Amino acid sequence: MDIQTRKIKFVQKFLSIKDEDMLLRFEELLKIAQADNKRELKPFSIEELNHRIDQSEKDFENGHYKTTSEMLKKFDL
């Protein structure tokens, strides 16, 4: 299926949405996607990467994390 056909099918499904919460989710997703397109990505330096690894390990040791189940529940998956 080409991209134009996919867009048309998506828009048709989108137009049939009757749930306002679902519409809000799509609006939020669109805002995030637009912001990401404007942001220029640059690779981490070795120091930044090591700092993030150290912080992640510290967070895990202190119980500052979410399980897969918690994340799936958050996003209704």
Q: What was the pLDDT predicted at 77?
A: 60
CA–CA dist 69, 65 (Å, integer): 12
Cβ atoms of residues 42 and 48 within 8 Å: no
Q: Tens digit of pLDDT per residue, the chain (77 long)?
A: 889 999 999 999 989 999 999 999 989 988 888 877 777 778 999 999 999 999 999 999 999 999 998 888 888 76
pTM of the model: 0.43
CA–CA dist 69, 77 (Å, integer): 9
Q: What was the pLDDT predicted at 74?
A: 81
Q: What was the pLDDT predicted at 12?
A: 94
34: how many CB neighbours lie within 10 A of its CB?
9
| In the block, residue with structure tokens 């749930």 | 19
